[in-house]
Every structure is written in structure tokens, then in C-alpha cells.
Structure 1
């Protein structure tokens, strides 16, 4: 139906309603009055024209009545009241008398008939059309403004396959109340009961202000049921209009295990990056590519993307050029191996970077156990080459990406990163360049991490393989890890090992169970198989040893460690003889040196003033 047709229909309908209301009122007020008396005729004409005038003025005819609510009812009240007041004034002018009883009854009938005619379509839609569509009964967690907005959207969206039937909210003052005709049936502890009592098929978590810990608690309650659980889109996506409120997304493992993010000190980071030349090694990897994305937000003059794999470097180059095609950032790619000292020196000399983020490394624990010489080449020699080139070419700040596996290392990979930290701290003692390291835990979704492996195992029908039921790890998201790396560069004074407060560690078996539930499967269907710990693995990881910790945070959720004794001569010896050692001997030498007891020359790194 076109707008003109719709408008004509409403004018005809309302004209009939107005005339009916006035004549019925005349009969009810005084049955002996003839329907064509002057007061009746004057009132009819006055109300009729006034009604149409105010309906147009207040846009009553433009309302979509299938979505009618209190706002539309208020407009009807205004139109009817203004029409009656206008008739009262016209009666006084033309017949010098006001028929208050007649107008009062007319107002009542007018309201009932006009309001009823509008709301009957919504009642029809809600009670007839929605019932004929097959819709999934939905439980909304959160009866605040976001949850109410979700419920309203679902109620008015005829194409949606979801229909809200109950709210869950921990605010006890809302319990047993109805919001938009939907009952609030209790708090989070009532989720399982609500699903059973109301035959719930879908659950929507609609509390944007939830912390990761609170979301995890809610999800664990939802996971006790067979209902599918979804979550409200990210608030920034709603505000920017990328997606609408009814485009719900699945709960991701990052939602449950990722910590509440650390805000960056934009001003200090901008001073280091904006308008400067920045080089990222390992720029095609999980951390390196995200570091490059985050750096680009601060508009460096040049961003050099250095990596060994041409495909990954090509991918991040194309992505950044497409994202920042309107900016003045110059993206430069260098296909190079950090083990090539001459190439590192030549690249630094050619581009003269102000800041270097060194993310290139071998990180896979079992593979490095079987190939310790490659850990030496890439993680030690590679770091030394890049660090020397940075020193020689007067780079302002050098930031190395390290790992929690460098604490009390039991693996070749962890030992090589611990010794690489020593190389970086040793360089800081003799260089004008500020050399620092950043140490954090496992990164969610990075290549080679456990989550992509678990997802593949679930897709194949299981089982998920976990090495040990008591194994725990710290986790953070790739963006958060990358922000920490960049923030460390801004905080650097030289020689620090920065560490993020990682919160509580997560049991790997719990992570596996959550992934199974998130995939919509039952744990018994997929299964979990314990395979035993692999060489070099620990049951738990540490971020700092007890004697390395500064109690005071240098930035919210960021600590700085103490510089331990640096075994630089011993590292030089390993670099000279490693190729002559068999793998077992090299493995023992690396892990042994990284775990030597600190007895002397322990100095404290100066805290960063904030």
C-alpha cells in the first residue's frame, strides 16, 4: 500500500469514527435530541476538521501502528484533546454556548475508537501473525536498557525467528515484574530453571557492561542448559552502525577467557610513533601483524614490515594498504631472515627506524625441543642481529616480545627466550638505544596455539586432546598482547622486562569444555582425551619469579621486573659451539644456563614514573 492510499484510508476511517462518536454522544447525553440539531452539526464539523488538522500536524498518519506503543498513545491523546478544545471554542463563537457533557462523552468515545482502531492491528500482529510464524522462545539476560531494547526490537521485527518470553536480571527490584509484557523470572542462578519452565530454545546475553569474569559466570550457567547462547554485538559496533541490535553473535572463547583490556596511554605512544619510522620484525605472524595494525592507528610516517614468509608479509601489507589507503602512511615490506646479520644491518641503515618491535621468533615448544639448534639460530642469534643493527643505527627504542615460558624454563623455547632477554638487557647497558622486553602468557587464537587445534578436533567430531587434567595457562587476546608491546615502548627507560597482570590462570581442560559447549555440542559427544605431558612442558606457567617482582605497577595492570645477573659470556660461548653439540647436550646447556641461580650483581631497574 502506497503512502497516499494509506493516508486516504486513515482520513476516511477517522472521519467515520469522528461522526460516529459525536452522534452517539448526542444520543447518550439526551436521547430526545434530534441528530441534526445545530450543536451536533457544529460539533461534528469542528471536531472533524480539527482532528484531521492536528493528525497531520502531529504526524499521527505517519505512524507505523504495528509497532504502536506509549508514544503513539500520547499522540492520539493530544490529537483528540486538541480537537475537542477546538470544538469547544467554535461552539462558543457560533452558538454562544458550550455543551460540556456532549464534548466530554465525545472525547471518551473518540479516544476509545481512534485508539482502538490503531492498536487493533498490533494486537492482531502480536496474537495472530506471530503465532502463525515458527519462532524460537528466547530468554533475555539483562532487563536494563540494552535488554529492553533487544526485546522491543524482537517484538516488532516480524522477520525475526526469535520471540522473547522471559527476562533474567540480578536486580531483585525487577523480579516478578513485567517489562513490555515479558516477566522477569529471577537472577542468574535461575537461568537453568527458566529454560525448563518456559521451554527456552535461545538465550541472549544483553548486558554491555559485563566484565569478562561476570560473562564467564553467566555463560557457565547457560551451558548447563541445551539452549543456544548468543550475545549482544559489541557496543562500538552498534554505535558506529556496523550492525544492528538484533544481529546477535555467538559467544566466543575470547569473551570468556580474554581479560578486561588495558587502556593505552595514547599521548605517550603518539609521541613515539606518530610521524616516525617504525620497523616490526615477524610482521606476518600473529603478534607481529596485530602490532602493525595497532601501530598504524597512530599514523607513523613509515611502517617497515619485515618477515621471512612472503605470503604472510604480502597479506598484512595488502590489508594495511586497503585500510589506510587515504592516509599518508608509507608501508614498506622487507623479506628477510633475522639470522642474516648483514641484511639486518643493511635494512636498518636504509630505513633508519626510530622504534623497532622485535616479534620474530620460534615459539612452538615441542618443535624446539626436537630442534634446539633452530631455537638458537632464530631466538638468540636473530635477536642479537636485530639488536646490534638497532644499536649501530641509533634506534631510539627496541622492544622485544618475550614469553612467560622464560620464567624457570623447562623447555628449549623458554630457555632461548630467557637468554634472548639477557641479550637485550645486556645491550641496554652499553647502548644509547633503550632496550626492553615484554613478557606475557598464551595468546588466544594465535597460530600454533591450543584453541585452533581444539576447534579442528571438534569439527572432526573429537576427541579433544589435553596433555594433563591439571595443566593451567595464562591467556590474553592478540589485540591486548599487541597493545602491551606498544605501551611498553612508550614506558621504556631501558633494561626493563615488562609483565602484564594476567589475572587468574585457566585450566586447559576447562577451556576445552567451554569450546565444546560454544560449538553447540555436548562434552560426552566430543570427548576429552588426556595424552600426557610433552617434553619441555610445565603444568603451570609463571610470569615472574619471586625475586624478580617489583610490587608497584608502573601502569595499570603492568609490572616491571628486576634485572637479574646476565650471563653474557656464557651465551657467547653457546653461540660459538652450538653447532658442534648434539641436540641433547645443547638442550641441557640452554635450559641449565637459563636456570642458573642468581647470587650476585642483582640490580633493580628504576621504576617508570607515571
Structure 2
């Protein structure tokens, strides 16, 4: 059993140091030869001065910190405490004692006290870190750290304490840092030297410690790791580090999303908060990839409630359970219903009165909707959108936002054609007038969504291959789910009625290159895991477009959002005819259904009528959420 607590030991140590500082002040004042008269002054005043200083230290709360983590804030607290304690000495001597103390002693004492107390604290921390950090540095897997900035400075002690890694050096492209040291570790050179250094130092892992640089720089570093044959690791994102969700030591393997992602999206958060805070927001298809992420992003702006409309009971239950854990203060109203059930939608909107409805419910899998399920795609994607939009208009919902797709541009598949027809239906409803502003947001494939190529490739690689790619030249635009959801919110804020917002999807990426990157990231080679080309599937394009040929765009104040001007629906009877067609019996035969659908969407060219030609595309790297 311990006789004294650690804080008591520290307190007693400071008492000794305070006495030593007072004694040294006299020694220095008299050049280490104290006259007899002042020897008496020293010993008479010492217990009173030290006792008063100790009392001040206690009252100020100097002993709440932890010595082993002594840092700059602790030093600042120490200086403030000593400064307050320094006032006690002259007051005690001048007001209560008949001895003389040189004035210079009153100046020397606090200076020496800060040096002694601060020095002992930091010496203790250095000893502890040498004992723990130094010992652990000799253990673990050898690793090189890419980046020698602030993140690396925070990373090195943390990861070394874990004992998992043994950092052997750092690399940084800033030539001014070369040959300098960080925690005793040398910056060996630029990142391009990784392959040579990894070979010479027998390193098989590298940690990318650059969360606040551009994505291109992080991607180049990850590619350098792949070329060097080392396993790339990365620290959490800059946003996660700033928010405190995770520590810098929470390194993880680099995933293909890290190679393909983009720089963080900046949205107009203050205006979005004005729109959403304290209001009700409704999301259809809330259990899906985009719908659930929309709910998460909306929760950041403190709505009074999120109405999660979803047909799938399990997906809705999963979302509610997640919110109970991650957003416990956020009210979420789970509503089970089919978006084709206009009465159910109307009842929900009348009950909760949302200020904006995000319509994300849709069938999106291209090959699955191309054959026998084509009629269901029409009923769900077109009929469901029309039902939700009519309900919003009837209930006076101020904003209705349709989540659409790049496959709606010059569509060659049923899924794309139905989404284009859904866009047209919203435009026609907007033309009728009313208080509801209808907007459409069009974007491409999203990383990690349901049906995404990345989990499929991961499964195939884990089985040893082959990795199946439909065509060597197939390319896709891509976007992360959070980025897509944030830009949908941004477009909703800007919508005034009938706009089709087109999101900046960046550069197109080649699926075959994506497969190769994933194989290399797994630690295998293309000789070990083969790539097999299986041919384009029904309804599949080599590339997707974001704008049709008869559309033009104009910029908005947001650099990643543009507005497309699609052909207007100026026939006042068009919507009534569409409603009659949807309420009738749709053809069971997919060829007949596609033929009828082409009469509604004139730009739709079914592949059974016009086979997709093989086209060469520029080299790129990336995913296709509809590709498998």
C-alpha cells in the first residue's frame, strides 16, 4: 500500500525546491559568500517564505497536472503560480519580521524557482519517455513515416508507445527538412527515395502522415508505396483529427478510396443551418447508401426531426439504432412505407410538415433493371417520384429535391431512362405552379454504396481472383458518399425551382486500373490475382455523361455545382398522359417496355435498338458503383 499519493510527493518536492531557490538566491546575491548578518536573515525567513509559497501553490491548483505529460500549458501554469507566490516573500519580511533581505533576492528567487520546478518536471517526463518510448522504439515492425510536419510530431510518440511499430526514419518533399531530426529520427530525403530506402532498410510498411495536404499529394504518396512494394498505412482524415473523433495514432491500411477520393467539400454551412435548424426534414429511401448518409449530414444542422421514410424494415431499424448511438440527441421518426403509396406519403408529410423532402428512393442496379424487372423500375423510379412529388406539392412542402444520376443523360438503359423521366415529371409538376420548389441533383457513382464495385473486387481478391471487369476501357466518374450527400444539401439550398444541378465529378477513372491498384494494395501481384474481362453487360455504357447534348450549363456560386438547362416540358397535357400510362398495365415483355419508355424519353436509345460501340477512353483510375 502506498504511503503517499503522487500529488503529495510532488508537493513535498516543490517545498524542497522552494527552499533551495531561496537559499541559492542569497548565494548568488553575495557571490557564494553570505555575510554573517544575512545568514541569520536567510534562516529566519526561509520557513516562512517557503510555507507561504507552498500554500499559494496548493490554492492555485498546481498539482492537478500529470508530471509524465508535462507540457507548455503546464509550464504556463507553473509560471503563474510562482509569480503569485513571489509576492508573498516581501510581504512576509516587510510586514512581520525585523530582518533585512536584499531586494535582488526577491527577483532571483522566482527565477530560480521556475528553473528548478520546471526543470525537474521536464526531466521526469524525459526520463519516462526515454524509458518507455526509447525501449519501444527498438520493438515492432520497421516503418518509414511519409511527412515530417506537425502530424508526424504527434504521431511518433503515440505509435511508438503502442509497441507495434519501430520508426526508422522520415521522408518529406520539403528540402529544408532533409537531414534534420524529429524525436531523434532523421528526415532521410524526399518521398521519391522511398523505394531505395525501403530496400536498404528492409522496411515493408510506410505510414502516410499528411492529412492536411491536397488529396493529390496523398495519392502520390500512396502510389509511391505501391511502386516501392511496401504496405501503405495512413493516419485518420484531417477533419476527424480536428473533431477529436480519433487520435493521430489510429493508423489504418490505405484503402482504394484513399487513392480515388478528392479534397474535402466546402458547403455553405451557415445558410444550411438557417434552412434546417429547428425544422423537420424528410428523406425517402432513408435506409439506402445515399439516403442514410443524407440523414447523417442533415443531423449536423440540428433539425427538430428527421423523418426517415423507407420500405425496408431492417434498413430502417439499422438506421434508427445507429442514430441512437451516434446522434442520441437527434429525434428521428422512422416511417415504413412504399414511395409508390401516395396516400402514405401524404399522411406522413401532413403529420410532420417537413420544410424539405429529399427523394433518394430508387432502383439503381443497371443490369437488374434491364430485363424482366424493367416495369418495376418504371413503377418505382418514375411512379414513386411522381407520388412523392405530388404529395409534397399537395402538402405545401417548400422544397423537393430529387436525387438523380448521370445515367439519365442520353440513357441507354432502363434505369437511366426512368431517372430521366422522373426528372421530367418533376419539371412538369413545377410548371403547374404552387409553393413547392422542385430541384434535381445529378451525380455519378459513389464509392462504397450498395452494389459498389469495391466490395466486389475485395471479395474476389480475397478468394485469389480472378477480378472480373467488363471491359478494359470502361470508365466512370466517382464521388464519396459523404461528398455526394453534402453537395445534395448544397444544391437544395440553392434550388429555386425546376433546376437540374450537376455535381462536379472530377476526372473519370478507369475500372481496370482500379482493379490493378486494389490487387497491389492487397500485397499481391497481377500474376497472382488475374484480371478477367467479361464484356459489357445489358444496359451498360463504356462511359457516363453528366450533360446531354441539348443541354447547356451555367455556373453557380459553388465551384462544384453547376446548373443544367434541360429541354422544358411545355405540353400541359403531358403529365396527365404520363399519369395514365403509369396507372395502366405496363408491358411485361422488356423489349416492348423499353420501346414504350423510348416514346417518353426521346433521347433514350435502348441497346437492343442501338448497340453501344466500343470506344477508346483516356487512361484514368477509379470505380464504378454499377460495375461488378
- Under a length normalisation based on structure 2, what TM-score does the superposition of the two structures give? 0.75
After TM superposition, list the pairs within 5 Å mapping 1:269-284 onto structure 2: 269-284=272-287
Distance 2:128 2:304 in 1: 58
SS at match of 1:561: strand
Partner of 2:184: 181
Partner of 1:287: 290
Partner of 1:27: none
8 Å Cα contact 1:68-1:122 kept in structure 2: no
Q: Does 1:587 align with 2:587?
A: no
8 Å Cα contact 2:381-2:418 kept in structure 1: yes
Partner of 1:552: 555
SS at match of 1:418: helix
Distance verdict in 2 for CA 1:121–1:533, change over 3 Å: same
SS at match of 2:228: coil
SS at match of 1:395: coil
For residues 46-95 of structure 1, give each alpha carbon's deviation from its aligned partner in whole angstroms, at most 9, with x where no partner exists: xx9999x999999999999999999999x9xxx9xxxxxxxxxxxxx99x
SS at match of 2:213: coil
8 Å Cα contact 2:406-2:443 kept in structure 1: yes
Partner residue of 1:575 out of 582, 587, 590: 582
Partner residue of 1:513 out of 510, 513, 516: 516
Partner of 2:172: 169
Partner residue of 1:414 out of 413, 416, 440: 416
Distance 2:365 2:587 in 1: 23
Cα displacement (A) at 1:186: 1.6
Bigger shift: residues 1-10 or 279-288: 1-10
Distance 1:299 1:178 in 2: 46
Partner of 1:242: 245
Distance 1:455 1:248 in 2: 20
Partner of 1:348: 349
Distance verdict in 2 for CA 1:72–1:517, change over 3 Å: farther
Partner of 1:262: 265
8 Å Cα contact 1:578-1:586 kept in structure 2: no
Cα displacement (A) at 1:180: 2.9
Distance 2:63 2:283 in 1: 61
SS at match of 2:308: strand
Q: Does 1:527 align with 2:530?
A: yes
Partner of 1:309: 312
Cα displacement (A) at 1:190: 1.4
CA RMSD across the alignment: 4.7
For residues 475-507 of structure 1, give each alpha carbon's deviation from its aligned partner in whole angstroms, at most 9, with x where no partner exists: 111111111222222111111100111111111
After TM superposition, list the pairs within 5 Å mapping 1:195-594 onto structure 2: 195-327=198-330, 329=331, 331-338=333-340, 340-371=341-372, 372-432=374-434, 433-566=436-569, 568=574, 571=578, 575=582, 579-580=586-587, 582-591=589-598, 593-594=600-601
SS at match of 2:421: helix
Distance 1:389 1:123 in 2: 65
Distance 1:481 1:503 in 2: 12
Cα displacement (A) at 1:171: 0.8
Bigger shift: residues 235-244 or 555-564: 235-244
Gaps of 5+ in 2: 22-35, 83-98, 103-115, 606-628
SS at match of 1:455: helix
For residues 178-214 of structure 1, give each alpha carbon's deviation from its aligned partner in whole angstroms, at most 9, with x where no partner exists: 3332222221211212211222232111112122222
Distance 2:133 2:426 in 1: 71
8 Å Cα contact 2:283-2:308 kept in structure 1: yes
SS at match of 1:209: coil
- Under a length normalisation based on structure 1, what TM-score does the superposition of the two structures give? 0.77
Gaps of 5+ in 1: 19-37, 80-92, 97-109, 599-610
